[in-house]
A and B are shown apart, each in its own frame.
Chain A
Amino acid sequence: QVQLVQSGAEVKKPGASVKVSCKASGYTFTRYGIIWLRQAPGQGLQWMGWISAYSGTTNYAQIFQDRVMMTTDTSTSTAYMELRSLIIDDTAVYYCARAYCSSTSCPGSKFDTWGQGTLVTVSS
């Protein structure tokens, strides 16, 4: 079955970086994209960016533009999201989800498969 499995919880200090992985199975990885979102405690869903697994094209939310990087490894069907210069307010559950993307965009896309979420705690 189609599945996304994320890496485990992380605890980081302010100023550090975190890299979350999202391993896909059950479908052809390069035919879709991956979207990354986060959810702070008690808050709603915040879009961070998406990446086309076919072309590597990315589109980041402006608020994260300067400190996020999304990549994929097609040999292992794994997507990665790295967030740098962490602050306390980056404490959240980070999710990956499958997106219906072409090589350059994901118009109208729904997210039909989600990872289980990765809790990232930023604390001094």
Chain B
Amino acid sequence: SYVLTQPPSVSVAPGQTAKITCEGNNIRSKSVHWYQQKPGQAPLLVVYDDRDRPSGIPERFSGSNSGNTATLTISRVEAADEADYYCQVWDTSSDHPVFGGGAKLTVL
């Protein structure tokens, strides 16, 4: 089945740019969605269809997808962005969603 690989952790100083990657075989052929999850809360969709943002999500959150890597970029990182971030695609061969293992963003 399809596998998504994320780095376990990413660290960045406030005001800098964080890049969280999601690797999968020919992932560019799939629509990638990104979720933010803070402790004790349900996941929140922050980017969908590779690069679109739901209403209410700051423009600081952006996405890209090319080759075997999709990337969530958070510009001008704030302390409130500290959370776990999960990428997700739909595996059409098995007709179910696939999630990455999650990346913990630490704001230094």
Contacts and interface: CB of A to CB of B under 8 A. Distances in A.
B88 interface: yes
Contacts, number: 58
B90 A107 contact: yes
Top 9 A-B pairs, shortest CB-CB distance: A114-B42, A110-B33, A110-B48, A44-B102, A45-B99, A108-B31, A108-B90, A112-B45, A44-B101
B86 interface: yes
Interface of B: 30-31, 33, 35, 42-45, 48-49, 54, 86, 88, 90, 92, 95-102
A95 interface: yes
Interface in A44-66: 44-47, 49-50, 59, 61
Counting chain A residues whose Cβ lies within 8 A of the other chain, the interface size class is 20 to 34
Contact of B96 (A59, A95, A110, A114): A59
Given A44-B99, A106-B90, 17 more contacts: A44-B86, A45-B99, A45-B102, A47-B99, A50-B96, A61-B96, A95-B43, A108-B30, A108-B92, A111-B35, A111-B43, A111-B88, A111-B97, A112-B45, A114-B42, A114-B44, A117-B42
Contacts of B88: 110-111
Interface in A73-124: 95, 97, 105-112, 114-117
Interface of A: 35, 44-47, 49-50, 59, 61, 95, 97, 105-112, 114-117
